[in-house]
Amino acid sequence: MIKLIVCDMDGTLLDDQKQLNEEFWELEPKIADKGIKFAIASGRQYYNLLEKFERIKDNLIFLADNGSYVVYRDEQVHIDSLDMESAIKFIEMGRKVENGYVIVSAKNSAYVESTDERFLNEARHYFKRIELVEDLTKVEDTVLKVTICDFNNSETNSYLHFKAFENEYKVAIAGKIWLDISDWGANKGTAIRKIQEKFDISHEETMVFGDYLNDIEMMSAGKYSYAMKNAHPKILEEATYVTQYTNNENGVLQTIKDLGLV
């Protein structure tokens, strides 16, 4: 019996235009009525997720910033912060990435030091609270991750700058132009296990959906792990199942219906 469904946002629950299928609002109460908890696991900021799901926020568990910050009904369930010394190191490295821009994602806000409109327009898709500062290394907040917005391609450009640190830190390719650096234990898989502990839900009672490399730890956190049909090849390899439909074809909700969960 499934008691927990965990779903990534971009490329999974959302289509490529970052739109949520309207059927979600119809099906979510039916899922809840069956005693199944629904969790949103995303690289997005908590405040961004909260805004998008405001009308049902008390029904959902939010795994924000790739699982670094977990919130349920306005209460912190789990946090995995990045120490400031490490954050400063990655900020300084990120400043040197060609065609890249640095974001410090922290508990209370995200912080930037660039006013480039192309960059800010991209950042606003994922961060609701953004504060402009003169120097990111002087931020006084609990840092969750350092993010690079890389217009040259995160997998082939910025990742190469940080690859040497992936045995000590979590270096996650979170999208075509996004790279996240966080504490070693900070990932969606760890966050799911914290939720399972809190609500006494087992691995066998957990279903997950993901599509990109920052979802890779999720694939082992639930017995029923689904890669989207159009997921990154590595996620297709790690998942136990593959959806019949893509994210643009409402693949998550179609799978949930086909399995008789609503």
198 and 150, same structural domain?
A: no
Same domain (yes/no): 141, 152:
yes
Work out the mean pLDDT of the chain and round it to a whole number.
97
Instruction: Kindly report, residue by residue over 133-189, the tens digit of the pLDDT.
Output: 999 999 999 999 999 999 999 999 999 999 999 999 999 999 999 999 999 999 999
Which CATH number belongs to the domain containing residue 248 in this structure? 3.40.50.1000
176, 225: one domain: no
- Containing domain of residue 23, as a range? 4-79+186-258
pLDDT at 247: 98
**Which among 136, 162, 183 is the end of a domain?**
183
| pLDDT score of 255 | 98
Q: Are residues 75 and 191 in the same domain?
A: yes
The CA distance from 74 to 69, in Å, is: 12
Paired residues of 4 in beta bridges: 37, 206
User: What's the pLDDT tens digit per position in 70-81?
Assistant: 999 999 999 999
* Domain closes at, from 162, 183, 204: 183
Report pLDDT digits (tens) over 204-256: 999 999 999 999 999 999 999 999 999 999 999 999 999 999 999 999 999 99
Predicted local distance difference test score (pLDDT) of residue 79: 97
Supply the pLDDT for residue 214: 94
The CATH number of whichever domain residue 97 belongs to comes to 3.30.1240.10
**Residue 215 and residue 170 share a domain:** no
Q: What pLDDT is recorded for position 114?
A: 98
Task: Let me know whether 124 and 174 are in one domain.
Answer: yes
pLDDT of residue 127: 97
* Residues near 10 by beta carbon (within 8 Å), at least 6 away in sequence: 18, 42, 43, 44, 175, 211, 212
| pLDDT for position 243 | 98
Q: pLDDT > 70: what percent of the chain? A: 100
Tell me, yes or no, whether 72 and 190 share the same domain: yes
pLDDT digits (tens, 9 = 90+) for 35-50: 999 999 999 999 999 9
194 and 70 within one domain: yes
pLDDT the model gives residue 168: 97
The model's confidence at residue 7, banded by pLDDT at 50, 70 and 90, is very high
pTM attached to this predicted model = 0.93
- Which pLDDT band, with edges at 50, 70 and 90, does 33 fall under? very high
Task: Indicate the residue among 183, 205, 231 that finishes a domain.
Answer: 183
When divided into structural domains, the chain yields a total of 2
Judge if 72 and 134 occupy the same domain: no
Question: In this predicted structure, what is the pLDDT of residue 138?
Answer: 98
